[in-house]
A and B are shown apart, each in its own frame.
Chain A
Amino acid sequence: MAQDLIRNFSIIAHIDHGKSTLADRILELTHAVSSRDMREQVLDSMDLERERGITIKAQAVRVEWKGHQFNLIDTPGHVDFTYEVSRSLQACEGALLVVDAAQGTQAQTLANAYLAIENNLDIVPVVNKIDLPSADPDAVASEIADLIGDDPEHVLRISAKTGLGVEDVLDAIVERVPPPSGDLDAPARALIFDSSYDQYRGVVAFVRVVDGSFSTREPLRAMALGTRFEAEELGFFSPTRSATGTLEAGEVGYVITGLKDVSRLRVGDTITSERRPAAEPLPGYKDVKPMVFSGLFPTDSDAYPELRDALERLKLNDAALFYEPETSQALGFGFRCGFLGLLHMEIVRERLEREFDLDLIVTAPNVAYRVKPPNGDWKEVHTPSDMPNEVEEVEEPYIKASIIVPKEYVGAVMELNNDRRGNFDHMEYLSEQRVHLTYELPLAEIVLDYYDQLKSRTRGYASFDYDVIGFRPGKLVRVDVLVGGEPVDALSLVIHRDSAYDRGRLLVERLREEIPRQHFDVAIQAAIGARVIARETVKARRKDVLAKCYGGDISRKRKLLEKQKAGKKRMKQVGMVEVPQEAFLAVLNLNDEKKS
Chain B
Amino acid sequence: MTPGARHLYVHLPFCAHRCGYCDFVTAVGRHSQHASYVDALLSELALERGVLASELDTVFLGGGTPTFTEPRALQRLLASLPPSSEVTVEANPETVTQELARMLRAQGVNRISLGVQSFRPHLLETLDRIVQPDTVRRAFFHLRDAGFDNISFDLIYGIPGQAPHDLDADLADALELGPEHMSCYELEAKPGTRFTHAHGEELERQADSMESYFELVVERLTGSGYRWYETANFCRVSERDLRSRHNLAYWLGRDYLGIGVGAVSTIGGRRWRNTPRLAGYLKSLERGTVPEREIESLSTDVLRRERVMLGLRLDEPLVLGDLARVVDGRAVSRLELLGLVQSDTVRQTLTLTRRGRFLGGGVTADLLS
Residues of A within 8 A of B (CB): 519-520, 541-552, 554-555, 557-558, 561, 564-565, 568, 576
Question: Can you sample 20 A-B contacts with CB below 8 Å?
Answer: A519-B338, A519-B362, A542-B358, A543-B214, A543-B358, A545-B232, A545-B361, A546-B360, A547-B186, A547-B188, A549-B232, A552-B9, A554-B250, A554-B271, A554-B310, A557-B309, A558-B309, A561-B361, A568-B365, A576-B337
Question: Could you tell me the distance between the alpha carbons of A550 and B366 in the complex, rounded to whole angstroms?
Answer: 22
Question: Could you tell me the distance between the alpha carbons of A546 and B358 in the complex, rounded to whole angstroms?
Answer: 10
- B interface residue count range (under 10 / 10 to 19 / 20 to 34 / 35 or more): 35 or more
Contact of A554 with B306 at beta-carbon distance under 8 Å, contacts A542-B358, A549-B250 already known: yes
In the complex, what residue of chain A is closest to B308 when comparing beta carbons?
Answer: A561
In the complex, what residue of chain B is closest to A560 when comparing beta carbons?
Answer: B361
- B302 at interface, CB cutoff 8 A: yes
- B153 at interface, CB cutoff 8 A: no
Whether B360 pairs with A544 at a CB distance below 8 angstroms is: yes
- B289 at interface, CB cutoff 8 A: no
**A-B residue pairs, 4 tightest by C-beta:** A564-B365, A544-B362, A552-B264, A543-B214
Contact of A544 with B359 at beta-carbon distance under 8 Å, contacts A519-B338, A552-B273, A561-B309 already known: yes
Contact of A558 with B247 at beta-carbon distance under 8 Å, contacts A548-B183, A552-B263, A568-B365 already known: no
Whether B232 pairs with A564 at a CB distance below 8 angstroms is: no
Whether A519 pairs with B340 at a CB distance below 8 angstroms is: yes
Chain A proximity of B275: nearest CB distance (Å): 13
Contact of A519 among B264, B306, B310, B363 (CB under 8 A): B363
In the complex, what residue of chain A is closest to B356 when comparing beta carbons?
Answer: A519
Whether B310 pairs with A545 at a CB distance below 8 angstroms is: no
A551: B residues at CB distance < 8 A? 9, 250, 256, 258, 264-266
B358: A residues at CB distance < 8 A? 542-545
Chain A proximity of B156: nearest CB distance (Å): 10
A520: B residues at CB distance < 8 A? 338
In the complex, what residue of chain B is closest to A520 when comparing beta carbons?
Answer: B338
Question: Could you tell me the distance between the alpha carbons of A552 and B357 in the complex, rounded to whole angstroms?
Answer: 22
Question: Could you tell me the distance between the alpha carbons of A349 and B2 in the complex, rounded to whole angstroms?
Answer: 58
Question: Could you tell me the distance between the alpha carbons of A519 and B336 in the complex, rounded to whole angstroms?
Answer: 12
In the complex, what residue of chain A is closest to B249 when comparing beta carbons?
Answer: A551
Whether A542 pairs with B309 at a CB distance below 8 angstroms is: no
Beyond A519-B363, A543-B358, 13 additional pairs, beta carbon < 8 A = A541-B359, A543-B215, A544-B359, A547-B188, A548-B185, A548-B232, A549-B231, A551-B250, A551-B265, A552-B9, A561-B364, A561-B365, A568-B365
A548: B residues at CB distance < 8 A? 183, 185, 232
A547: B residues at CB distance < 8 A? 185-186, 188, 231-232
Residues of B within 8 A of A (CB): 9, 183, 185-186, 188, 211-212, 214-215, 231-232, 247, 250-251, 256, 258, 262-266, 271, 273, 296, 302, 305-306, 309-310, 313, 334-335, 337-338, 340, 357-366, 368
B364: A residues at CB distance < 8 A? 561
B264: A residues at CB distance < 8 A? 551-552, 554-555
In the complex, what residue of chain B is closest to A569 when comparing beta carbons?
Answer: B365
B211: A residues at CB distance < 8 A? 541-543
Question: Could you tell me the distance between the alpha carbons of A546 and B360 in the complex, rounded to whole angstroms?
Answer: 8
Question: Could you tell me the distance between the alpha carbons of A552 and B232 in the complex, rounded to whole angstroms?
Answer: 16
Chain A proximity of B152: nearest CB distance (Å): 13
Chain A proximity of B324: nearest CB distance (Å): 17
In the complex, what residue of chain A is closest to B331 when comparing beta carbons?
Answer: A568
Whether A576 pairs with B334 at a CB distance below 8 angstroms is: yes
A543: B residues at CB distance < 8 A? 186, 211, 214-215, 358-359
Whether B258 pairs with A558 at a CB distance below 8 angstroms is: no
Contact of A549 among B266, B313, B357, B365 (CB under 8 A): B313
A519: B residues at CB distance < 8 A? 335, 338, 340, 359, 362-363
Whether A558 pairs with B266 at a CB distance below 8 angstroms is: no
Contact of A542 with B250 at beta-carbon distance under 8 Å, contacts A561-B309, A576-B334 already known: no
Question: Counting chain B CB atoms within 10 Å of each CB, which of A548, A557, A561, A565 scores highest?
Answer: A548
Contact of A542 with B9 at beta-carbon distance under 8 Å, contacts A548-B232, A551-B256, A576-B334 already known: no
In the complex, what residue of chain B is closest to A519 when comparing beta carbons?
Answer: B359
Contact of A554 among B266, B335, B337, B363 (CB under 8 A): B266
Whether A545 pairs with B231 at a CB distance below 8 angstroms is: yes
B334: A residues at CB distance < 8 A? 576
Contact of A552 among B258, B360, B362 (CB under 8 A): B258
Chain A proximity of B284: nearest CB distance (Å): 19
Question: Could you tell me the distance between the alpha carbons of A565 and B247 in the complex, rounded to whole angstroms?
Answer: 26
Chain B proximity of A104: nearest CB distance (Å): 53
Question: Could you tell me the distance between the alpha carbons of A519 and B358 in the complex, rounded to whole angstroms?
Answer: 10
B256: A residues at CB distance < 8 A? 551
Contact of A565 with B368 at beta-carbon distance under 8 Å, contacts A542-B212, A549-B310, A549-B313 already known: yes
Chain B proximity of A518: nearest CB distance (Å): 8
In the complex, what residue of chain A is closest to B7 when comparing beta carbons?
Answer: A551
Chain B proximity of A168: nearest CB distance (Å): 69
Question: Could you tell me the distance between the alpha carbons of A548 and B310 in the complex, rounded to whole angstroms?
Answer: 11
Question: Could you tell me the distance between the alpha carbons of A564 and B360 in the complex, rounded to whole angstroms?
Answer: 12
Question: Could you tell me the distance between the alpha carbons of A154 and B156 in the complex, rounded to whole angstroms?
Answer: 87
Chain A proximity of B356: nearest CB distance (Å): 8
B302: A residues at CB distance < 8 A? 558
Chain A proximity of B233: nearest CB distance (Å): 9
Chain B proximity of A268: nearest CB distance (Å): 53
A561: B residues at CB distance < 8 A? 309, 361, 364-365, 368
Question: Could you tell me the distance between the alpha carbons of A548 and B62 in the complex, rounded to whole angstroms?
Answer: 14
Contact of B359 among A545, A550, A552, A565 (CB under 8 A): A545
In the complex, what residue of chain B is closest to A540 when comparing beta carbons?
Answer: B359
Whether B360 pairs with A555 at a CB distance below 8 angstroms is: no
Chain A proximity of B195: nearest CB distance (Å): 15
Question: Could you tell me the distance between the alpha carbons of A519 and B337 in the complex, rounded to whole angstroms?
Answer: 12
Whether B361 pairs with A564 at a CB distance below 8 angstroms is: yes
In the complex, what residue of chain A is closest to B262 when comparing beta carbons?
Answer: A552
Chain B proximity of A336: nearest CB distance (Å): 29
A552: B residues at CB distance < 8 A? 9, 258, 262-264, 273
Chain A proximity of B333: nearest CB distance (Å): 11
Chain B proximity of A430: nearest CB distance (Å): 55
Question: Could you tell me the distance between the alpha carbons of A344 and B232 in the complex, rounded to whole angstroms?
Answer: 57
Contact of A576 with B338 at beta-carbon distance under 8 Å, contacts A548-B232, A554-B250 already known: yes
Chain B proximity of A507: nearest CB distance (Å): 25
Whether A541 pairs with B362 at a CB distance below 8 angstroms is: yes
Question: Could you tell me the distance between the alpha carbons of A552 and B309 in the complex, rounded to whole angstroms?
Answer: 15
Whether A542 pairs with B215 at a CB distance below 8 angstroms is: yes
In the complex, what residue of chain A is closest to B158 when comparing beta carbons?
Answer: A547
Contact of A546 among B212, B263, B305, B361 (CB under 8 A): B361
Question: Could you tell me the distance between the alpha carbons of A554 and B250 in the complex, rounded to whole angstroms?
Answer: 9
Chain A proximity of B272: nearest CB distance (Å): 10
Question: Could you tell me the distance between the alpha carbons of A548 and B360 in the complex, rounded to whole angstroms?
Answer: 12
Chain A proximity of B206: nearest CB distance (Å): 14
Contact of A542 with B214 at beta-carbon distance under 8 Å, contacts A557-B309, A558-B305 already known: yes
Chain A proximity of B151: nearest CB distance (Å): 18
Question: Could you tell me the distance between the alpha carbons of A4 and B58 in the complex, rounded to whole angstroms?
Answer: 106
